[in-house]
Structure 1
Amino acid sequence: MRTTGEIIKELREAHGLSKQRLAELLDLKSYTTVSKWEVNENHPRGKEIKMLCTLFNISADYLLGLKDENVIPLFNYKYIPSSISAGLPITVDTVADYECERIALPDNVMGKWARNKDVFFLKVNGDSMNKIFPNDALIGIKMISLSELNDKDIVVFNYDNEYSVKRFMKNERANKLIFRPESNDETFTDIVIEEEQKDLVQIVGKVVVYIVTA
Structure 2
Amino acid sequence: MSTLGDRIKLVREQKGLLQSQLASLIGVKSSGVISNWEKGINKPDADKIVKLCEVLDISVSYLLNYHGKSQLELDPLEKKLIEKFRRLDVNEKKVVDSILDSILVLSEEKKKNLLSEATNSVNEKLIMYTYAQHMAYAGEGFYFDDLSTDLIEAPEYPGADFVIGVNGDSMEPTYSDGDNVYIKKTCELNYGEVGLFVMDNSAYIKEYTKEGLVSHNKSYPLIAGRDDIRIIGKVLGKVSKKAKIIRK
Q: TM-score, normalising length from structure 2?
A: 0.43
Q: Whose strand proportion is higher, 1 or 2?
A: 1
| Higher RCO structure (Cα 8 Å, ≥6 apart) | 1
Q: Whose helix proportion is higher, 1 or 2?
A: 2
